[in-house]
Homo-oligomer: A and B are copies of this chain.
Amino acid sequence: MNTSDDSGRNIARLLITSPDRPGLVAAVSQFIFSHGANITQLDQHSTDPEGGKFFMRLEFQTPHLDLGREALMAAFDQVVAKPFEMQWSIQYARPAKRLAIMVSRHEHCLMELLWRWSRGELPCEAAMVVSNHPDLKEAVERFGVPFHYIPVPPRDPEAKRKAEEQALELIRGKADAVVLARYMQILSPEFIAGTGVPIINIHHSFLPAFIGADPYRQAFQRGVKLIGATAHYVTAELDAGPIISQDVAHVSHRHGVEDLKDLGRDLERQVLARAVRAHLEDRIIVDGNKTVVF
């Protein structure tokens, strides 16, 4: 499973969504093989072999390919994708995806990502950190990562709009994915659409429980015996996008709101890191409001 090392150089992944039909696996694997690539991982899933939806992730090694990237894609489209009515993409492990991380004051998720990235666990380029507070500038620059401070004045929609524009300016075309690592501003639909890339958020509850603000307080007041964290893709509807990863920890009456936050931090770090890694390794296919994570 470890694909963050040098061998990443020669790795590509094919992601497919299509109607399920006999012959799919044979057609795809035959195509890949016949062009000189060796399949190293293959995962597939069908919601129903009769008239269901079919998902596939295929990882292959590219050194002996008989076609260049463009030609391979054109051939695949012609020979396999069109006949089977596939939605598909080929992702190459190199160049590594460029990550923009947005954060407010809570540093735990950001630090976890930077720390894992610095030791090679996250196959990406940590392209920039954007924050509405200056607090974490030094901690970020220590990793050699550019830090951009873009303040967002409270209760000033026009200032907020301008701040989002500034952030868009930085991100657009310079990042392949955005991670909201406890960024405590609600982003406008314009910003979300404007980045043109997937945005991953960490929500500090077991969604769909405790949508919105201060979920640990909500959890405390409801008296739940488990708290959770959820990493999901961001859509225009708050906390309602496709879920990538979730986890929980047991709690009891002994845990006050602050204790829940303490415990929750550990969950958030792990769940977000897992989701970001799955995204970077092209393991996720979004299917409507759900995900297939291979």
Contacts and interface: CB of A to CB of B under 8 A. Distances in A.
Interface in A93-121: 108, 111, 115, 119, 121
Copies per assembly: 4
B262 A2 contact: yes
Contacts of A210: 208
A287 to B, nearest CB: 8
Contact of A256 (B47, B254, B266): B47
A38 B61 contact: no
Interface in A138-168: 142
Contact of A25 (B39, B55, B108, B248): B39
Contacts of A208: 209-210, 222, 224
Contacts of A91: none
A294 to B, nearest CB: 8
Contacts of A25: 25, 29, 33, 39, 42
A61 B49 contact: yes
A45 B253 contact: yes
Contacts of A188: none
A14 interface: no
- Interface residue tally on A, bucketed by range: 35 or more
A207 B224 contact: yes
Among A34, A207, A226, A255, residue most surrounded by chain B Cβ atoms (within 10 Å) = A226
Contacts of A39: 22, 24-26
Contacts of A61: 49
Contacts of A196: none
Given A47-B256, A259-B1, A266-B270, A223 B30 contact: no
A49 B58 CA distance: 13
Among A29, A228, A259, residue most surrounded by chain B Cβ atoms (within 10 Å) = A29
Interface of A: 1-2, 22-26, 29-30, 32-34, 38-47, 49, 55, 61, 108, 111, 115, 119, 121, 142, 206-210, 222-226, 228, 242-248, 252-256, 258-259, 262, 266, 270, 287, 289-293
Given A29-B29, A30-B30, A223-B291, 13 more contacts: A2-B258, A22-B33, A25-B33, A26-B33, A41-B46, A42-B44, A207-B222, A208-B224, A209-B209, A223-B289, A225-B293, A253-B290, A266-B270
